Structure 1
Amino acid sequence: MIKRAFLSLLLLSSGLASAAELTELEIRWLKAGADVLHYAKQVLQLPLDITVQPQARANDVPLALGYDQGRCKLVLSLRGNPHAEDLLDSVPAAQRGWMIEAMVAHEIGHCWRYAQGHWHALPAGFAERPPAAGAAADLRDTRREEGFADLVALAWVHQRQPQHYATVAAWLHTVRFGAPAVGSHSTLTWLRLAPTGAAFTTDLPVVEQATLLWRQGLLNDE
């Protein structure tokens, strides 16, 4: 019931009048991520807007998050996107919703960092060893944010769908293993800290669970 009601709210927030204006693929993605989005808005109280692009542009990723004027902007670029589900090609159809839910949770991790004013910032007490500058610093900072967001996704899966944790974690490892060793999305430093859901402190909110492991990973992220 919550998921169906929240989907209606998503339609309004995206500026679409009815589900008839959404494609089947867009509806499937929004339904898969509805619980995460409800949590983000109602529990975390994040300033989150959702946009469904009427037509994907060249090089658009299917799901992305930005930040503008104090609000997170979650953008779905599925319509007319030939690469909309490339990351899911190896996933059985019955399991794709689990991966999409994890992807949405990943983006909410980004939103939380933005909203807290922590984007590209280290926790108190951390110092760079060694310091970096220019493009190297930008790459490192982005990789760290991706590591945090991946941990939020895994913490969410463990809290809400623990029976699927191993499957989602294995898929995420496969996705990240394909990234260049020094790439902005090479997050294995953090993924290795959560081989099972037992790595998370489940009596804490999801973002705090992720933060604890993220701090551990920073110690090894030179």
Structure 2
Amino acid sequence: MLKLFPLLSLVLFSLPAVAASSLTALETRWLKAAAPVVSYAREQGLPLDIVVQPQEAPGSVPLALGFDGGRCKLVLSMRGNAQAEAVLQGVPSARQGLMIAAMAAHEIGHCQRHAQGGGFVQRGIVRSDLREQGETRREEGYADLVALAWVHARHRDAYQEVLAWLRSVRQEGGSHDTRAWLALAGDSTVFDTAQTPFKQADLLWRQGLGE
């Protein structure tokens, strides 16, 4: 079993691989949209693999990140899963690929934290629910900022649109309430530097932590 830290919630499941020749049209569309993010992550040396669940996964988060054997697993759970369409409900078809890329960039943020020895690496330690909720919120905040920094670098004209969408999927309260960090990113000029999206996100993230 692998721990997965997705955009919208936390789930656990095993990760069998599936041959590329048996991908569905929906899986292919998501993978193509995420491809630029995956390519960038690998260029940065992140230990990233792609896994597509061949079995039906109703109620699962469509795109999530797992860790196994020191590697990150970007996991698609599309089959028999209404969430694969619902997560993009209300997003114009012409912009759905961009939102998928933003979701992938969010997960790559988790991968980078894991590769650097941060994030959820120490999750085996017993903690109170409240403390763990706070830690999850902080990690989700960092990953959201990575997504925004990546969008700013490659799709600057759509930055505010992606930011608005992220705000719409973040519920008030709970472990995935990242609004404090999203508020810091309201002006896209916070990412007007030559640093990587990871470093840009880290600076703003620490500001949100009060460091």
TM-score range, shorter chain: 0.7 to 0.9
What's the secondary structure of 1:56's corresponding residue?
Answer: coil
What's the secondary structure of 1:73's corresponding residue?
Answer: strand
Matched AA of 1:62: P
Alignment match, 2:160: 166
What's the secondary structure of 1:84's corresponding residue?
Answer: helix
Matched AA of 1:25: L
Give the whole-Å Cα distance in 2 for the aligned partners of 1:85 and 1:208. 32
2:202 equivalent to 1:218: no
Alignment match, 1:35: 36
Matched AA of 2:146: V
Give the whole-Å Cα distance in 1 for the aligned partners of 2:98 and 2:56. 23
Paired residues for 1:97-108 under 5 Å:
97-108=97-108
Percent of residue pairs bearing the same amino acid type: 56
Alignment match, 1:78: 78
Runs of at least 4 residues of structure 1 off by over 6 A? Answer: none
Which one of the candidate residues 125, 129, 135 is aligned to 1:135? 129
Matched AA of 1:38: S
Which one of the candidate residues 126, 140, 147 is aligned to 1:146? 140
The two structures, once aligned, show a CA RMSD in angstroms of: 1.5
Q: Deviations over 1:113-163 (max 9, x none)?
A: 011101158xxxxxxxxxxx5111100000000000000000000001101
Give the whole-Å Cα distance in 1 for the aligned partners of 2:60 and 2:48. 20
CA contact (8 A) 1:159 1:202 kept: no
Q: How many equivalent pairs are there?
A: 190
Q: Deviations over 1:35-70 (max 9, x none)?
A: 00000012x111111101112324311011011110
Shift in Å at residue 15 of structure 1?
Answer: 4.6
Give the whole-Å Cα distance in 2 for the aligned partners of 1:190 and 1:17. 37
Paired residues for 1:79-118 under 5 Å:
79-118=79-118
Give the whole-Å Cα distance in 1 for the aligned partners of 2:147 and 2:118. 18
Alignment match, 2:19: 16
Using the size of structure 1 for normalisation, the TM-score is 0.82
Unaligned runs of 5+ in 2: 1-16, 122-126
Matched AA of 2:35: A
Greater relative CO, 1 or 2 (CA 8 Å, sep 6+) = 2
Shift in Å at residue 180 of structure 1?
Answer: 3.5
Residues 17/35 of structure 1: CA separation in 2 closer, same or farther (3 Å cut): closer
Using the size of structure 2 for normalisation, the TM-score is 0.86
Alignment match, 2:27: 26
Residues 107/17 of structure 1: CA separation in 2 closer, same or farther (3 Å cut): closer
Give the whole-Å Cα distance in 2 for the aligned partners of 1:56 and 1:162. 36
What's the secondary structure of 1:140's corresponding residue?
Answer: helix
Give the whole-Å Cα distance in 1 for the aligned partners of 2:56 and 2:151. 28
Give the whole-Å Cα distance in 2 for the aligned partners of 1:201 and 1:163. 14
What's the secondary structure of 2:83's corresponding residue?
Answer: coil
